[in-house]
Amino acid sequence: DQQVKQNSPSLSVQEGRISILNCDYTNSMFDYFLWYKKYPAEGPTFLISISSIKDKNEDGRFTVFLNKSAKHLSLHIVPSQPGDSAVYFCAATLFFGNEKLTFGTGTRLTIIP
Amino acid sequence: DAMVIQNPRYQVTQFGKPVTLSCSQTLNHNVMYWYQQKSSQAPKLLFHYYDKDFNNEADTPDNFQSRRPNTSFCFLDIRSPGLGDAAMYLCATSRDFRTGVFQPQHFGDGTRLSIL
C-alpha cells in the first residue's frame, strides 16, 4: 500500500522555466511533508518542508504547496537551473511521536540547457 | 563539515554470508535510522534508534539486526543475506524529534549491497 505517490517517474524542463513536481498521499493523519533531492551516488538531501497547518512554504527558488482537501502537494522550482537535475522524493510523516518518513518513489527532473 | 558517513560505499557478499554495514555521524544527533531502497522504489524504514532505544518496524525481517554502541556509530547486520536483500542501504540521523520542533532527517550517501 503506497501511501505517498509520485505518479511522474520523470520530468524534463527547459532551463529558466518553472518545474512543478507533484505528490499525492492517502493517509489523512500525515501532518508534515518534506521534499528531498538526490544526486546520483549521493544520499537524499533535505530541501524544504511544510506543516499541514500551512498551505505554502517558500525558500528561495523553491516553493511547496499543500492542498489538504485533495491530499496533494507540489514543489515548484523557479527559475529552473541545470544543477536542479536530480531525483526528487516526496515524504510524509506524523509529527509528534512518530519519526517514520514514508517516501514516494521519486521523480527524475532533467533541466535542459 | 558535520556529516553522516557510510562505509563501505559498495559491498559484495555471498548468498548466506553475514555482512555488516556501518554508519557514523559527527552531527551529535540522538536519533539514527536505517532505510532500504531497492531499484526504482521508495526508501523503506527498517528501524531506528532513539538514543539507545531500538525501534523495529513491524515488517522488517528478522534477518536484519542493528547495533548502536555509542551516539556516533550505528551498524546494520544482515545475518543471512538472500538475493532479495540486494539494495541500497541508507543511514540517516536527526535531532531529538520529541522537543516539539520538527527535525528533518539527514542522510548518508548509502551502501550499495550486492549478493552473489
Chain B residues 16-75 within an 8 A CB cutoff of chain A: 31, 33, 40-45, 48, 50, 57
Q: What is the spatial distance between Cα B59 and Cα B23, in angstroms, rounded to a whole number?
A: 22
Asked if pLDDT for residue B2 goes beyond 70, the answer is no
Q: Determine whether the interchain pair A89/B106 forms a contact, defined as Cβ–Cβ distance below 8 Å.
A: no
pLDDT in tens, B102-112: 788 999 999 99
Cα→Cα distances B83→A18, B41, B95, B114, Å? 42, 17, 34, 8
pLDDT of residue A94: 82
Asked if pLDDT for residue B7 goes beyond 80, the answer is yes
Cell of A51: 506543516
Beta bridge partners of B46: none
The average pLDDT across B77-96 equals: 95
Q: What is the spatial distance between Cα A29 and Cα B103, in angstroms, rounded to a whole number?
A: 18
Mean pLDDT by 10 residues, chain A (113 residues): 91 98 95 93 93 95 97 97 97 76 95 96
Whole-number average pLDDT of chain B: 93
pLDDT of residue B97: 74
Q: Predicted confidence band at B81 (pLDDT cuts at 50, 70, 90)?
A: very high
Chain A residues 81-100 within an 8 A CB cutoff of chain B: 89, 95-97, 99-100
Q: Angle CA(A88)–CA(A8)–CA(A79) in degrees, nearest 5?
A: 55
The average pLDDT across B56-61 equals: 92
